[in-house]
Every structure is written in structure tokens, then in C-alpha cells.
Structure 1
Amino acid sequence: MMTIVSEQGMNVEALQTKYLIIDCEIYTEGTRKYWKIMRVGNHIEVHHFFDDMLKAFDMDDLVMLWSLVKDKFNSTEPTDDKEREIWVELKRLFEPDTNDELWKLQKKIHDLTWKLYDSCGVHHVSTEKGIDIYMLVEKEYPLSRETLTLMLVAKLLVDQDNEMSIELLRKIFM
């Protein structure tokens, strides 16, 4: 037997479709430059800031973008500022290097804000002096004890009992 249910009692949500990233290029509009992310099915996204891209991406998107950028710039050098920026930020995320200038700047970090992009699993540490550090949650980075402590303090101010703060504590004491 079938029961007829009125539409008003139904809670129907559309299925969310995820389209894979197939290409990335620099898009210029006037004097501003953007990253133009092309997905399967001719879906296009435009991002001006790396933060905005992280808000819209998940881990699969980041891995796919890194793969595309790595393939493109392993054979050639980035020529544009936007190309260089995405190359450097993704390389720091996926292949941290202790000789990188960013990690040496940690000694000058005294004040910071800390964010976590849950969708893609990225820590973002920024300072008032304009230093931005992006780190994948599951990777180990050459962070100084002082930077880890500042991250922990910033996190504890927001949420006192959290798995992320416990993870940061473990890293500090290791």
C-alpha cells in the first residue's frame, strides 16, 4: 500500500554536485588580477585572495589544484605575481622547507591571529605586519616553540576545550 504525503510535510534538499578542478589560469579585469578556477562542466570560479579560495575549497580541491600548479611550474618558472603567489603558497602547504624565508621570519612574530578553515583542513596564522602562514592540519611544519605557543593562546581564547588545542599542546611539548 502507498501513502500519499503532502508536499508541505516533506523536507527536500537538492543534492550538492561537486565538480573537479581541471585548470587554473590568471584572469585580469582592469588592473586587478584573479585566479580563474575551471571545473568540469564549464563551471568557473574567480578568486582574488588565497583566503577566499580556501573558504570555497575542500581538501580534494586543494590537492587537485596543487597537482595542476606543480605540473605547470615544474617545467617553467612562474612569470606573473599571481602565478608566483599560488605556486609559493601551495608549495609551502604541501612541501614545507625549513630553509624557506617564511619559517625564518617566525622570530619576528609577536602578535598573531589564528584561523582554521575546516572545509579544507588548513591553519592560517597572520600577523599585523602582514606575514601569512598557511599550514595543512595533518602535516608537520618547522614552527618555533614561540609560534606554537602564540597559536595555542589564540585558539584557547576562542575555545577552551578543543581537539585542535590538544593537538597544538602535543606539538609544543614534543
Structure 2
Amino acid sequence: MVEGKEKRVGEELIQESSKKQKVDDDKETTELKQYMGIILDEEEVTIDAIPLAIKSPRIVDWTIHKEGKKTYYQIIRANGKCKMYMIFSHMLKSFNREDLETLYKLVKAKYKSIRPVEDLDLVLWNDLKTMFKPHVKDAVWGNQQDYKVLSWKLYDSCGVHFLRMQHVQIYMLVEKRYPLTPPIIIDMLNKKLQVDYFSDMAYQLLKLLTK
């Protein structure tokens, strides 16, 4: 029931964001706006984002593709088309929530009883587990006193926010609560949430973290 509720909340936030609804300029939104910044991520300028109105064919598999010394994630869709991504955050730029959940199910099914062999697969599996099934005893949460926030970005096409720190990076669903410590949250707010545009999803995320 909890998972179902979280999924519905996530879908509602994504639908609201996709419409780019105008947020009322009241006192609360004005206060929250100071924690947001429209910033163009130079690392992702060349990544083609899929318009939210266009629904891509379902993801059916993924593989690790190597070209010389470079290694990529290759995402395979039902229509046979493939696209390669060097890192997980590049996927999120063009994923919607259905893509994300489908990939998680595929990875979870494959590594339910065996350990990933490829380094990229291990990273992907750990990132997805932390995102969908966070556990308070996981090392990523227990070592927060050693972290310093470098950047914080929202991918509203799939409802994920990405926290990059000195020694770790964490991908989180916008509607889910995670065991972040107060100092880390303060550091996140001071760094500001990087967004492509001011959206209702960004406001809702900030409201969740500032309660």
C-alpha cells in the first residue's frame, strides 16, 4: 500500500510538472524560490531530451557496451532501437518514470540472487537500490558526516533528484523520504536545487525537505 501511494504521488508530481503549471507567487513559494536556481548543466548540453508528450517504446533490456577504453550503458527498447549513456544521470535526462521503474525491475530480476560482474552494472544496481529501497543502515547514510555537497539537481521528467558529494552520489525519488541528516539538508539548500525551469515538482520537493 505504501509503495502504491508513493507511486501515485510520484505520477501526480510528474504530470503537474510536465504541464509546467504556474506557481502562485505567495509568501511560501517566494521563500522556497531562494533555494532554486535555473542552471544549465554543461556536461549534458549534448544529451537529447525526449519531450514529455512523446512516449518512447518500453525498455526491454540493457547491456554494457565497450568502445576502446570507454564503457557505456546500452538501453534497448521494444522497437529494437538502442541508445548509449556513459553515466546514469545522462539516462535520467531522457527517461520518464515508467522508463525508470522498468529498468529497476529488469536489474532487480537479474541480480536478485547473483552479484553484478561489470563495474558499471554494480554501480547501476547500487544506485537503483538506494533510490527505490533505501535502508537506514546502508553505508551511504551512515557516513554523511564525511560528505560535503557539491551540487543538487532535479530531473523532473522522471521525478528524481541527484545529490553529488565529494565521496558519493545519491539518486532519490522526489516523493520519498530518505535518512538525510539535518546538516546535509542545510548544505543542499545552501547549494540550491538546480532546475531547468521553476516547476511545481521543485516546490513540492523543497517543501518536503524544509518541513
Q: TM class, shorter-chain normalised? A: 0.7 to 0.9
1:75 aligns with 2:149: no
Out of 104-113 and 75-84, give the one that drifted further: 104-113
For residue 116 of structure 1, what is the amino acid of its counterpart?
L
Counterpart residue number, 2:19: none
1:88 aligns with 2:126: yes
Counterpart residue number, 1:117: 155
CA displacement 1:11-51 (0-9 Å, x = unmatched): xxxx8352100001111111221111100111101111111
1:23 aligns with 2:23: no
Counterpart residue number, 2:136: 98
What is the deviation of 1:170? 4.6
Picking from 105, 115, 133, the partner of 2:170 is: 133
Query: Structure 1: which 5+ residue stretches go unaligned?
Result: 1-14
For residue 93 of structure 1, what is the amino acid of its counterpart?
M
Seen in structure 2, the aligned counterparts of structure 1 residues 123 and 33 have a Cα distance that, compared at 3 Å, is same
Picking from 93, 114, 117, the partner of 1:55 is: 93
Seen in structure 2, the aligned counterparts of structure 1 residues 70 and 170 have a Cα distance that, compared at 3 Å, is closer
Seen in structure 2, the aligned counterparts of structure 1 residues 40 and 141 have a Cα distance that, compared at 3 Å, is same
CA contact (8 A) 2:62 2:76 kept: yes
TM-score (structure 1 length as normaliser): 0.80
Seen in structure 2, the aligned counterparts of structure 1 residues 167 and 121 have a Cα distance that, compared at 3 Å, is closer
For residue 65 of structure 2, what is the amino acid of its counterpart?
Y
CA distance in 2, matches of 1:98, 1:67: 22
TM-score (structure 2 length as normaliser): 0.67
Seen in structure 2, the aligned counterparts of structure 1 residues 137 and 30 have a Cα distance that, compared at 3 Å, is same
The alignment partner of 1:98 has SS state of coil
The alignment partner of 1:71 has SS state of helix
CA distance in 2, matches of 1:31, 1:162: 39
Counterpart residue number, 2:75: 37
Query: Structure 2: which 5+ residue stretches go unaligned?
Result: 1-52
Give the structure with higher Rg (CA).
Answer: 1
RMSD: 2.4
What is the deviation of 1:152? 1.9
CA distance in 2, matches of 1:26, 1:156: 31
Counterpart residue number, 2:184: 147
For residue 36 of structure 1, what is the amino acid of its counterpart?
Q
For residue 71 of structure 1, what is the amino acid of its counterpart?
A
